[in-house]
Amino acid sequence: MSRLLLLALLLLFLALPALAQRDTIALNADWRFAIGSDAPHKEPWKGKPIPHARTVQVPHTWNVEEAHQHHYGWAWYQRSVKVPAEWKGRFVTLEFGAVNHSAIVYLNGQKVGEHLGDGFNKFSIALNGKLRYGRENLLAVLVNNAYAGDKLPHGSSFDWPNDGGIIRPVRLIVSGTPHVHHLRTVPTLHLADSTGQLRLQAVFDRANDIRIGVRITEENQPTAKVILERELVPTWQGNTATVDLDLGRVKPWHFDRPNLYRVEVTVRKGANTVDAVTTNVGFRTVEIRDGQVHLNDEAVKLMGVEWTAGSNPDHGLAEPDSLIRAMGRLMKEVNCIFSRQHFQQGDVFFDVCDRHGILVQQELPLWGPETPANDTAQGIAMRQLEAMIANLGSHPSIFAWGVGNELRARDPRMSQMIKTLLDRTRELDPTRYATYVSNSLTESYAGEPGFVPDAAAHGDLLMMNEYGGSWWELPTGAVGLHLDSIHATYPTLPFFISEFGLCEPNFAGGDARRIHDLIYHMALYESKPYIQGAIYFDLTDYRTHYPGTPEPGRFRRRVHGVYDMYGKPKPSMEVLRDLSSPIEIHSLRGGAPGKRNVLLFGNIGLPQHKASGYVLYLSDSIGDWHNTRAYPLPNIRPGERVVVEVDDLYQGEGVVTIVRPTGTVAARKSFFGER
């Protein structure tokens, strides 16, 4: 083969991405950044390079920088984008993972879009007809993080950092026409025979004469089998194309076996493939019957932890993907199968939860008693709700949508606003639960004079933040009766503890007090059969804008976690992990000559679920279990007693470690005397 032919083939290969049906081009490098004035709209930087700017990479926030820790206002981002001439005639979308909290976007000096009062939802802007093809284009983004009443969270009514900037990745999406604006997946699992059905709904500009190609493969499983490959003509309702697929037998998604399937969708018009999108799905059912949670028809109880994004002072809310994945790993290190998020997270976080088997309630940042109940707040909340569900609705880890946290839920106007949002949530996604998280549930009973029901009663689940012994001015011995009275007031709603924990410096005592508080509350919840789950708050110490903490600027924080802000574990981490394990290690004792028996129980507290595929190790120290013999455990159900015979390598002593199928430590107990 001649060198000339080789060169021609190489050039053709290099040109292929530009000719593909959908290309994504990351725009994270080499942004020029400058703090804006109090009147940035009068500045010329929407269409002119900023001479005093410096280069940054996004995700980026200025509030972790020494010089700008306390800047709450306007800032500029700019970068040049070379647009190939070949893109003319293709559909070009500019996508922002999130900009906190408001963004006005300019292209070559002209405003092309805005996204106001919504700092955490993904958004896109169509650039067709606005680009200079075959030339450099100047992209400018004017960002604002000032406290304001025309955004959510309202004003300063939130307990996390107010980090401004382009806080998640940016990319260009280049596709043919027609192109998919949004793909929604609705998986259905039939428990009787473990078969799956999948409805795909692709949103276009308008109805088109197209065919939909679908290829579905096993994703994070031992094999990567293709379970379906088909081309179909969709049915149309307005601008939404729908195809329904029967998949045969599928492997359900579970805490310990979070089986996913990769769905590749191509759009074909005539002989051409004009667009392609990919997503993952999981097949599972979450049902609440008679006050009891059922995952895939298995009665379970849930336990977990929340992570507050923005906690690392080196990154703030502009976390790299690697840090988000590391925090997800730490959640699983403490046996998390149940969590919530006070404000919208991106696809990377939920991909972690999908793959680690964590059920999540994702909420709107409608937070705090200062939030008004008026048309402005409700309108912003409604727009955020619609975007949140559209952006994240394909993730199997999300089992519930929350519409707010710790509002004035007994105020009639606020209660009605919460109910309106809950009703809209059910309309947008009837496959998941709709909830509100309360801190104002009291022991007054329906029928008593003056009884005003809490807005939490409008939800499908009763979610309550419980801080007996700290924020609540209530004797700890009275907390149990308080819980009983709330359950008696709302007996038909399954009861979940949506937060508990110890906040320093407001309540001194250090990690020793945190451990005491954790053990007490877990024992209390486990004594109440009606409590179906609990979420420890928080995974890490977290950054906040709230005053009253001794550290300044980017280090201002709530000392609330079982890890510090950088992910270093405290002693309370191991306590939370072992209390949250589905398997209880009881003892190492007796046995045949040269053997020892490890006595285990399936947990009957929180959590409760069948433990399948776990492995036990006996080692001489905590850190060397990887190098010892593995003892696969049988399936262990809640309350079940299991004896495992192991080799007696350490004269009746040793460290017992149990590892989950997903690779994290589920429980550990040392059986050494004084050493």
What phi and psi, each to the nearest 5 degrees, are found at residue 501?
155, -175
End residue of a domain, out of 130, 160, 175:
175
Residue 385 lies in a domain: no
Sign of CA dihedral 405, 539, 220, 634: negative
Residue 378 lies in a domain: no
Q: Which of 449, 523, 443 is nearest to 490 (CA)?
A: 443
User: What is residue 135's predicted lDDT score, i.e. its pLDDT?
Assistant: 96
What phi and psi, each to the nearest 5 degrees, are found at residue 321?
-55, -35
User: What is residue 15's predicted lDDT score, i.e. its pLDDT?
Assistant: 37
End residue of a domain, out of 237, 266, 281:
281
- Residue-wise pLDDT for 505-563, tens only, equals 889 999 999 999 999 999 999 999 999 999 999 999 999 998 777 788 889 999 999 99
The domain that contains 71 carries what CATH number?
2.60.120.260
CA separation, residue 277 to residues 17, 95, 209, 231 (Å): 15, 15, 18, 15
Reply yes or no on whether the pLDDT at 446 is more than 80. Answer: no
Count Cβ atoms below 10 Å from residue 107 Cβ, excluding itself.
21
The domain that contains 329 carries what CATH number?
3.20.20.80
For residues 141 and 153, give the distance between their C-alpha atoms in angstroms, rounded to a whole number.
21
User: What is residue 630's predicted lDDT score, i.e. its pLDDT?
Assistant: 97
Domain membership of residue 533 as a residue range: 306-336+466-580
User: What is residue 12's predicted lDDT score, i.e. its pLDDT?
Assistant: 35
User: What is residue 624's predicted lDDT score, i.e. its pLDDT?
Assistant: 83
Query: Same domain for 477 and 533?
Result: yes
For residues 557 and 549, give the distance between their C-alpha atoms in angstroms, rounded to a whole number.
7
Given a contact cutoff of 8 angstroms between Cβ atoms, the answer to whether 424 and 382 are in contact is yes
Greater confidence (398 vs 11) lies with: 398
Residue 651 lies in a domain: yes
Query: Same domain for 503 and 576?
Result: yes
Query: Same domain for 80 and 35?
Result: yes
DSSP string of 276-327?
EEEEEE----EEEETTEEEETTEEEBEEEE---TT--TTTTT---HHHHHHH
**Residue 355: strand, helix, or coil:** helix
Query: Same domain for 558 and 470?
Result: yes
Sign of CA dihedral 217, 218, 224, 228: negative
Query: Same domain for 501 and 562?
Result: yes
Contacts of 374 (CB under 8 A, 6+ apart): none
Query: Same domain for 655 and 614?
Result: yes
Residue 319 lies in a domain: yes
Query: Same domain for 40 and 154?
Result: yes
Query: Same domain for 255 and 130?
Result: no
Query: Same domain for 204 and 274?
Result: yes
Query: Same domain for 113 and 218?
Result: no
Q: State the pairing for strand pair 211-218/74-83.
A: unpaired
Residue 296 lies in a domain: no
């051409």: which residue's tokens?
A: 272
Query: Same domain for 472 and 499?
Result: yes
What angle do the packed helices 412-428 and 375-392 form, to 10 degrees? 30
SS3 track for 607-622: CECCECCCEEEEECCH
Q: Which of 265, 281, 285 is nearest to 218 (CA)?
A: 281
How many domains, in total, are found in the chain? 4
The domain that contains 636 carries what CATH number?
2.60.40.2830
What are the tokens at 192?
């009787």
Provide Rg for the chain, Cα atoms: 27
- Residue-wise pLDDT for 332-389, tens only, equals 999 999 999 999 999 999 999 999 999 999 999 999 999 999 999 999 999 999 999 9
**Residue 430: strand, helix, or coil:** coil
Residue 3 lies in a domain: no
- Residue-wise pLDDT for 294-331, tens only, equals 999 999 999 999 999 999 999 999 999 999 999 999 99
What does DSSP assign to residue 51? T
Residue 361 lies in a domain: no
What angle do the packed helices 510-526 and 571-579 form, to 10 degrees? 10
For residues 469 and 503, give the distance between their C-alpha atoms in angstroms, rounded to a whole number.
11
- Residue-wise pLDDT for 328-348, tens only, equals 999 999 999 999 999 999 999
Reply yes or no on whether the pLDDT at 581 is more than 60. Answer: yes
Query: Same domain for 228 and 332?
Result: no
Reply yes or no on whether the pLDDT at 175 is more than 50. Answer: yes
Given a contact cutoff of 8 angstroms between Cβ atoms, the answer to whether 639 and 604 are in contact is yes
Greater confidence (631 vs 547) lies with: 631
End residue of a domain, out of 545, 580, 615:
580
Burial 7-23 (b: 16+ CB within 10 A, else e): eeeeeeeeeeeeeebbb
Given a contact cutoff of 8 angstroms between Cβ atoms, the answer to whether 568 and 532 are in contact is no
Q: How far is CA 204 from the centre of its chain?
A: 27
By 3-state DSSP, what share of the chain in percent is helix, strand and coil, each rounded to 5?
Answer: 20, 35, 40
Mean pLDDT, rounded, for 579-602: 96
Contacts of 491 (CB under 8 A, 6+ apart): none
Residue 395 lies in a domain: no
* Neighbouring C-alpha atoms within 13 Å toward the C-beta of 319: 25
Reply yes or no on whether the pLDDT at 100 is more than 80. Answer: yes
Reply yes or no on whether the pLDDT at 499 is more than 80. Answer: yes
